[in-house]
Structure 1
Amino acid sequence: MDTDTAISRLIEHFREIITLKESDVELIISRLDIIKLEKKEYLLKEGQISKHMRFIAAGSLYAYYTDEKGRENTTQLGIENWWVNDLYSYLSEQPSRMFIQANEETTVIQISKESLELLFKEIPAVSDFWRLKMQSAYVTLQERTFEHSRVDAYTRYRTFISAYRNIEQRFPQFMIASYLGITVEYLSYLRKKHMTDVY
């Protein structure tokens, strides 16, 4: 994806929530960094401090941590028009406990924390945008925490494919299974069960 198309996608994303003047757009664009990742390339590694907010303009990313047995545990999946980050590291300025890696060739737009803080002052609507985004992220996290502790795996799977209709075909089964907290074999069973229930 070329730079102009990537930036246009981000500006459209902002404008879904807030109103921006052309002078605002020019100021935002001046603060952006474009990063292109190859498949399997890392955007963030464990131990690094996350210093940017990251928008996926094209491609897909996933975030995971490794447990004491060396197993990967997927915490986030992201496709176009999604933000993916280690918010704990970004907000606390502590080293990340996660890896963020490209699932395919991916174009990411970054805004540094310093630049974003300046934009909050220069364009108050950008502050409103992030307030709403953070609220939405918190609600999503609470819902996911509730589901993992109180809802059966089949219901979690159905909620996942209903909420994220375009995502299941973009990621390997092992990542989706890890995200849902189940085995690959059980995910395969749930997919078959769902197909039977639907048809």
Structure 2
Amino acid sequence: MFQYINSYAARSVNLTADETSRFNGILEYRKVPKKTKLLQAGDICNFEAYVNKGCIREYIIDENGAEVTLQLAVEDWWVSDLASFQDQTPCSMYIETLEDCELLILSRDAKEQLLTEVPKLERMFRLMLQRHLTVVQNRLFKTISNTAMEKYLEFIKRYPSIPQRVPQHYIASYLGISPEFLSKLRTRHLKK
């Protein structure tokens, strides 16, 4: 159950057996069925969740009532509303499972306790936030400067397993295009 998250941590820090045991002991293992909302707009996010198995979508609802996908998270990713988690303010996003999931959950209090007991993990979480910020910056830049086809090709290159696991309308929403246009892009790409 902890094999993948321990590998994740090992990429950033060298934990002793005792520190690893403390880390694993504070995580809450949870099986969550498909189509479960883990967070709704207006809630205060009190968790960071590591995806051990499954697929999760983070999204907002825009002023026209349309769902806009912000992130699709699969195994070895973390999900949370970072601003709400950190500042304990109401969030504006939804987090929903797209598949049956197995999650390792850290509550806000548990994380603070963990970082006090295993200070090395500060580095892991700092690097995680830096990677997340880099991904968000790159996505923003590409959203502004790339064509729809370039965005689609980058998406399938970066996330090759997601198109087989996620309904196409969520991918279209993530790319900022209509499902019909995504279908045309896919057809055009397959013909090349």
Question: Deviation at 1:161?
Answer: 0.7
Please name the residue that 1:153 is paired with. 148
Report the RMSD for the aligned CA atoms in angstroms.
1.2
Asked if 1:84 corresponds to 2:42, the answer is no
2:76 partner letter: N
| Partner residue in 2 for 1:169 | 164
SS of 1:193's equivalent?
helix
Paired letter, 2:146 = V
The one-letter amino acid of 1:164's match is Y
Aligned-partner Cα distance in 2 for 1:48–1:30: 27
TM-score by length of 2: 0.95
Residue 106 (str. 1) matches residue 101 (str. 2):
yes
Sequence identity percentage = 33
Report how far residue 14 of structure 1 moved. Answer: 1.1
Unpaired runs of at least 5, structure 2:
none
Deviations 1:2-60 (A, max 9, x none): xxx2x222112211222111100111122111221111111111111111111001111
Alignment-derived partner of residue 66 in structure 2 = 71
Superposed CA deviations along residues 53-79 of structure 1, whole A, max 9, x for unmatched, are: 110011111011112222111111011
Which 4+ runs in 1 deviate beyond 3 A? none
Unaligned runs of 5+ in 1: none
Equivalent in the alignment of 2:175: 180
Q: Structure 2: how far apart are the matches of 1:196 and 1:56? A: 35
User: 1:128 aligned to 2:123?
Assistant: yes
**Map of 1:31 onto structure 2:** 26
One-letter identity of the residue aligned with 1:39? K
- TM-score normalised by length of structure 1: 0.92
For 1:57 and 1:180, the matched residues in 2 are separated by 25
Letter in 1 for 2:121: V
In the alignment, the residues of structure 1 paired with residue 87 and residue 148 of structure 2 have an alpha-carbon distance, to the nearest angstrom, of 33
